[in-house]
A and B are shown apart, each in its own frame.
Chain A
Amino acid sequence: AQKVTQAQTEISVVEKEDVTLDCVYETRDTTYYLFWYKQPPSGELVFLIRRNSFDEQNEISGRYSWNFQKSTSSFNFTITASQVVDSAVYFCALTIPNTDKLIFGTGTRLQVFP
């Protein structure tokens, strides 16, 4: 069975601090895909990134970066120089081919204070 664990329930930081959101996943499949979604107060989930299990290269997009490590089954997300607009709930998710569904973690609520 597949499982995603986000141990951090809530994180509070002050603007301009860097923050890392942890994600640990479990699957016996060798081919799988990992995602991060952002859920602002409006409620609509916004796609941030997708990685496949064969691509362990870290990725950077502006202030966002992702660290994928198969050895520890982790896919962590770092926001550099956080801003108030980053305040949201962030979800890590996993899917494997031919199952169609996303398996979500319980989310991490990030609050960025000015």
Chain B
Amino acid sequence: GAGVSQSPRYKVAKRGQDVALRCDPISGHVSLFWYQQALGQGPEFLTYFQNEAQLDKSGLPSDRFFAERPEGSVSTLKIQRTQQEDSAVYLCASSLDQRGWDEQFFGPGTRLTVL
């Protein structure tokens, strides 16, 4: 079956531009996660949805970052007024159930480069 998909795969933005990154989770998966992975580092948690409810956004680095999942399926991560330090790979993951220890299935990521 289809896995987690993300688009675009690559995004180049000029500093100050707004960007929107899309995640299509595996159909029927309740939980959806966003992570940020800087070069040479492990993924770092940004935010978590259970269906359409955003239950944890403690990892969002600033109020320029905003995520939504309005119908409990597709999710969008928006970054306003991008800065160079936002350059990273943004990973989306989904899991079947709402338990935190379920296996998370990851997408291929969106590599964001801010010039």
A interface residue numbers (CB < 8 A to B): 4, 33, 37, 42-47, 50, 52, 91, 93, 95-107
Contact B42 A101 (CB under 8 A): no
A37 to B105, CA, bound (A): 10
CB of B1 closer than 8 Å to a CB of A: no
Contact A97 B100 (CB under 8 A): yes
Contact B103 A45 (CB under 8 A): no
- A residues near B48, Cβ cutoff 8 Å: 100-101
Given contacts A44-B3, A100-B33, A106-B42, 17 further A-B contacts (CB under 8 A): A43-B89, A44-B106, A44-B108, A45-B106, A47-B103, A50-B103, A91-B42, A96-B100, A98-B100, A100-B48, A100-B100, A101-B33, A101-B45, A101-B56, A102-B43, A104-B44, A106-B41
**5 A/B residue pairs, CB under 8 Å, sorted by A:** A44-B106, A44-B108, A97-B99, A103-B45, A104-B43
- A residues near B99, Cβ cutoff 8 Å: 97
- B residues near A4, Cβ cutoff 8 Å: 42
- B residues near A47, Cβ cutoff 8 Å: 103-105
Chain B residues with a Cβ closer than 8 Å to the other chain, count: 27
A31 to chain B, nearest CB (A): 9
A96 to B43, CA, bound (A): 17
Q: Which single member of B41, B59, B89, B101 contacts A52 (CB below 8 Å)?
A: B101
CB of B73 closer than 8 Å to a CB of A: no
Contact B44 A100 (CB under 8 A): no
CB of B25 closer than 8 Å to a CB of A: no
> Known contacts being A33-B101, A50-B101, A102-B104, is A43 close to B109, with CB within 8 Å?
yes
Q: Which residue of B lies closest to A4 (CB)?
A: B42
- Per-position 1/0 for B29-48, Cβ under 8 A of A: 00101010000111111001
B111 to chain A, nearest CB (A): 8
- A residues near B109, Cβ cutoff 8 Å: 43-44
Contact B101 A44 (CB under 8 A): no
Contact A104 B108 (CB under 8 A): no
- B residues near A46, Cβ cutoff 8 Å: 106
